[in-house]
Amino acid sequence: MKSESITRRSFGEGAMIAAATGALLGAPAAARAGSAAERVRLGIIGAGSRGNQLLDSFLPIPEVDLVAIADVDDHHAGETADRVKKAKGNTPTTARDYRAMLDRKDLDGVIIATPDHWHALPAIQAVLAGKDVYVEKPVGHNVAEGQAMVRAARKTNQIMAVGTQQRSSTHFQKAVEIVQSGKLGKVFWVQTWNFENISPVGMGKYPDGEAPSYVDYDRWLGPAPGHAFNPNRFHLLFRWYFDYAGGMMSDWGVHLNDIVLWALNAKGPNSVYASGGVRTTDDDRDTPDTLQVVYEFPGCTLTYSMRKGNGLRLNGHDYGILFCGTDGSLMLDRSGFEVIPDTVVLPYGIKRAHGDHPIRKIGLKHETAKGVDGQDAHVRNFLDCMKSRARPTSDIEIAHRSTNTCHLGNIAYKIGRRLEWDLASETIKNDPEANLLLRREARAGFELPTV
Ligand SMILES: NC(=O)c1ccc[n+]([C@@H]2O[C@H](COP(=O)([O-])OP(=O)(O)OC[C@H]3O[C@@H](n4cnc5c(N)ncnc54)[C@H](O)[C@@H]3O)[C@@H](O)[C@H]2O)c1
């Protein structure tokens, strides 16, 4: 198998471009690429479902040229090339292997929307080749991959923005401001959740078979362990297998926990424990369909609750974030937020024991806001940062920490013990066996470059 690390020639070029980029900090992307003023030339790696959603935001922007597409599925690449041609008039190059794209001198950046196990390698290779990167969440397949991505971004001074786009929604920003303002009183309990009922069939069971002829399946597997082709372990559904992703915890949990870290101004929890299993879904998934994770922060508990065998909504929402403070609560999701004032009560027992006494009146006002989709603004921020060289709203380091909460939830679930997390070294302090799960060995030929 051909080594995945970029060739000596392309690496040399990449290093030179990276060095030149460092020297040109502050220069517009177009100047770095030497192309026509203000144009931004991008490629996309992974043109599946999410890749095409991202193009909904990128393609309408006049200064964006989408000049290259890499996808291991020829149909996805071809269909996306047709779409670009219709929207922009040019025909982008298409390839199964993205490495040729990274060798191009006329490319400013890449959008990476591959499955989770294929985020770290192209993102690191891209910044080493002097490209800016917009990479989808969760940051990597495991903690060590995220750490390598942060190191690569910092070493090269390239932009590495992550698709945790809720940070660019104005109502999420306002909600975080309210939590941080102290208006809710002491925020001591936060809940995030995802509930739905897909029991018992879920995605069903399908026999292993031959990969379609128009797909480079070995390349789809990439760093993941070898496995016969199965439609459940492929497009879209890969997220329910630990070989490629982290189940609902990292697929959706990352969006929710990301906002919690932001609002609590925290880099991560001090400890985590979890309980769950595959209890209600009779398909081939190996990630849990039932999960309860408890995170401990100084003075605050966060729980992530997930079930796929019962869709009863919490406060009318099948997913969301609930901040509870001593003066009231803030309920938040993509549709908007609601501030709900609380009432202090004098319980019967206290009243009987100590007699009636005045109780605290809460002055918090009820407030609602409608949801604002942040996707376009998030993409705009990435493009602006390519020009200004400022750190993006969802910089890799921020999103790496949010992703870590999900990896930790999954590790605690697998290990079944309470894990103490060292924020500075990003290691588990009390459990050597759990520490081993912070990384995994890539399949030969798909190892990360040393950064
Ligand atoms: N930010 C968000 O709100 C959001 C929403 C959905 C998905 N996502 C993320 O986007 C990523 C992709 O998810 P999806 O639902 O689009 O999956 P998908 O299976 O629909 O698309 C993945 C695409 O990547 C291609 N691919 C796989 N390996 C490749 C490689 N080595 N080189 C080039 N192409 C390769 C596949 O052929 C496929 O076309 C996931 O990490 C997911 O978590 C983010």
Residue 79 CA to its chain's centroid (Å): 25
Model confidence at 19, pLDDT cuts 50, 70, 90, reads very low
pLDDT in tens, 235-286: 999 999 999 999 999 999 999 999 999 999 999 999 999 999 999 999 999 9
Residue 25 Cα distances to 40, 116, 158, 161, 387, angstroms: 16, 30, 9, 17, 9
Say what the pLDDT of residue 38 is: 86
Ligand 1 binding pocket mutation candidate from 6, 44, 71 (most atoms within 8 A of CB): 71
Among 273, 285, 196, smallest CA distance to 232 is for: 285
Lowest mean pLDDT among 20-24, 67-71, 194-198: 20-24
- Domains in the chain, ordered, with CATH? 8-166+380-395 (3.40.50.720), 168-372+401-430 (3.30.360.10)
Separation of CA 2 and ligand 1 centre (Å): 23
Separation of CA 263 and ligand 1 centre (Å): 28
Neighbours of 84 (CB within 10 A): 23
Q: Please check whether residue 205 is in contact with residue 283, taking contact to mean a CB–CB distance below 8 angstroms.
A: yes
Q: Give the Cα separation of 312 and 310 in Å (integer).
A: 6
Q: Please check whether residue 376 is in contact with residue 369, taking contact to mean a CB–CB distance below 8 angstroms.
A: no
Return the ligand 1 atom nearest residue 238 CA.
Answer: 19
Question: How does DSSP classify residue 212?
Answer: P
- Asked if residue 341 has a cis previous peptide bond (ω within 30° of 0), the answer is no
Q: Please check whether residue 124 is in contact with residue 449, taking contact to mean a CB–CB distance below 8 angstroms.
A: yes
Where do the DSSP E strands lie in 299-360?
300-307, 319-325, 328-333, 336-341
Across the strands, what pairs with 43?
Answer: 68, 110
Residues flanking ligand 1, CB < 6 Å: 45-51, 70-73, 76, 98, 113-116, 118, 136-137, 163, 165, 219-220, 222, 235-236, 251
Joined together, the tokens standing for residue 25 give: 């900090």
Separation of CA 434 and ligand 1 centre (Å): 28
Ligand 1 binding pocket mutation candidate from 69, 114, 376 (most atoms within 8 A of CB): 114
The pTM (predicted TM-score) of the whole model is: 0.93
Joined together, the tokens standing for residue 69 give: 């597409």
Mean pLDDT for the chain? 93
